[in-house]
Structure 1
Amino acid sequence: MTTATTRRHERRISPVFLAILAVMAVTGWAVWTDFAASPGLAVFLFVTSAWVVSLCLHEYAHARTALHGGDITVGAKGYLTLNPLAYTHAVLSIVLPVLFVIMGGIGLPGGAVFIEQGRIRGRWKHSLISAAGPLANVLFALVCTAPFWLDALDGVPLAFRFALAFLAFLQVTAAILNLLPVPGLDGYGVLEPWLSYKVKRQIEPYAPYGFFIVIALLFVPAINDGFFDAIDALMRSLGVPELSRYCGSQLFRFWQETPEFCQV
């Protein structure tokens, strides 16, 4: 299938997404130039808007892959416009992840595009559709960390460097959480087409609770420590110092006092 199976207006980028993109650009410029009176507020607006942009791209990746896989209904549902208001569960895909970033500084996976699975033929296509969303987060993370692993930080203002590090951290956590083989998450969606009918029927009753079980497990100290230790190790392998990510999260919480060594 190609985009010829959708109408032009079904693929037109939404003004809502363009507005969010404009906020990201303007606040990113404010962070870079130190234009804002409060650098913390500028970092907050930049990271939040960029995070919402990444969530839209995540869902778009699912929908676009589904379109090419055979589900031509995604266009009529508004999924190809990047409009977050078109999602079937905007609260789960946008509002809840943003709240978790504000409260806990973690990239919470969402899930909101409804794919008509019966239109998709082939197990590989089903798996690829599920994988497309987290892969969008991986690509976003690579873009954010590029200045670090390319050793191209000369001339990059400290506040912008911290903001990029924190934004990359959110993308990495979202990708890893979403790729867990837990019912309700994309990782299980990748695996599900290869399971037997009997196994899928046994797992099906627990699918609505998988997401919440993962969140609850993150409140277990041992699991929480192990998870974030692994994230920090991965971030360091991408050239991002733990201090940069930490300072980015501190600047993001502009309503709290920023540690002296993170002030810019």
Structure 2
Amino acid sequence: MTFAEARRSSREDRRISPVFWVLLAVLGTSGWAVWSGYGNDPGFGVFLFVISGWMVSLCLHEYGHARTALHGGDISIGAKGYLTLNPLKYTNVLFSFVLPVVFVIMGGIGLPGGAVYIERHRIRGRLKHSLISAAGPLVNVLFAAVLLTAVGAGWFESPTDRIDFEGRELPYSALSAALAYLGMFQVSAALLNLLPVPGLDGYGILEPWLSPKARRSVEPFAPYGMLAVFALLWQPEVNRWFFDLVYSVTDLFGVDRGYLFLGDYLFRFWNH
């Protein structure tokens, strides 16, 4: 391979995928539709906005892992397509992309996906390994902070905003409700992903600091960590405790919980 060919290949490895551009286009168009009041019912627009925003955050989450791994020493990342923000390049599209979206639609839970394949043997230093695992959840934290700050500060509020809720007009902005609801998913994804459970990023942060014996004893349970967390969340008491924690985080940004309730109501447009 010539030098010019190598440079061209390197640029292609980092070129943003058309798939990601389409997701951004859907996010921007649906956000404009909800903000401008286009259409009789904002519900479908809120649904598209939240789903496309969630997909974008999943792509950025995995990009955070990949980019940190690249700077940590795994130079194979680019060739795998992880820097293109194309979700179809992930090692398991079903677990990384499809199931997290399905869980959002079914249960309103921002379940984290997995994963990009990182050649850990190329990376030296326990701190670098921990930072690679932490990069993904930190993207969700940043995403949540931006969205919830915008809602809490009332950036998209107007005295004329009204939401039709079962025949009553409520003084809330549909776009703020959508932003708050999407922000709630980011909070839940960050909290879940930071759990020190095998298979999740929280354990990935902790793992480099464990003894080889401890890592070997935990390794067989890694494929089942996410399933165990999901099963626990279906238990009413655990679910209630978890969402109380999520709501406590959104409260820190001054977000009226009414926005979360209305965001969920509008998102499930098929129920009304």
TM-score between the two structures when normalised by the length of structure 2? 0.90
1:105 corresponds to 2:120: no
Which residue of the partner structure matches residue 141 of structure 2? 138
Please point out which of 90, 95, 101 is paired with 1:92. Answer: 95
**Residue 252 (structure 2) aligns with:** 237
Equivalent position to 1:220, from 231, 235, 260: 235
Contact 2:156 2:175 in 1 (8 A): no
The match for 1:208 among 223, 229, 242 is 223
Match of 2:72 in 1: 69
**Following the alignment from structure 1 to structure 2, what is the Cα–Cα distance between the partners of residues 249 and 209?**
29
CA distance in 2: counterparts of 1:219 and 1:233, whole angstroms? 20
Is 1:178 aligned to 2:181, yes or no? Answer: no
Find the residue that maps to 1:72 and give its secondary structure.
Answer: coil
Q: State the shift of 1:13 in Å.
A: 0.3
Q: Which moved more, 1:216-225 or 1:43-52?
A: 216-225
Q: Computing the radius of gyration over CA atoms, which structure comes out larger, 1 or 2? A: 2
Q: 2:61 aligns with which of 50, 58, 62?
A: 58
* CA distances 1:213-255 after superposition (whole Å, capped 9, x unpaired): 0000111121111111111111111111211111101100000
> Where does structure 1 differ by over 4 angstroms across 4 or more consecutive aligned residues?
none
Deviation digits for residues 106-160 of structure 1 (CA, Å, limit 9, x no counterpart)? 1010012000000010000000000000000011111111223435354395100
Aligned residue identity for 1:37: N
2:249 and 2:201 mapped to 1: Cα distance? 20
Q: SS of 1:162's equivalent?
A: helix
Q: TM-score, normalization: structure 1?
A: 0.93
Verify the 8 A CA contact 2:152 2:256 in the aligned structure 1: no
Matched, 1:82 2:97: no
Query: Post-superposition shift, 1:93?
Result: 1.1
1: CA distance, partners of 2:36 / 2:190: 30
* Distance in 1 (alpha carbons) for counterparts of 2:39 and 2:14: 35
Name the amino acid aligned to 1:18.
Answer: W
Shift of 1:36: 2.6
Cα deviation 1:48-85 (Å, max 9, x = unaligned): 00110000000000000000000011100000000011
Q: Give 1:29's aligned residue.
A: 32
Residue identity in the other structure for 1:255:
W
For 1:17 and 1:148, how far apart are their aligned partners in 2? Answer: 25
Percentage identity across paired residues of the two chains? 60
Rounded Cα–Cα distance in structure 2 between residues aligned with 1:104 and 1:130: 26
Stretches of structure 2 that go unaligned for 5 or more consecutive residues are 1-6, 162-172
Structure 1: tracts of 5 or more residues without a match: 258-264
- Pair 1:122 & 2:125 matched: yes
Aligned length, in residue pairs? 254
Q: Which range moves more in the overlay, 144-153 or 61-70?
A: 144-153
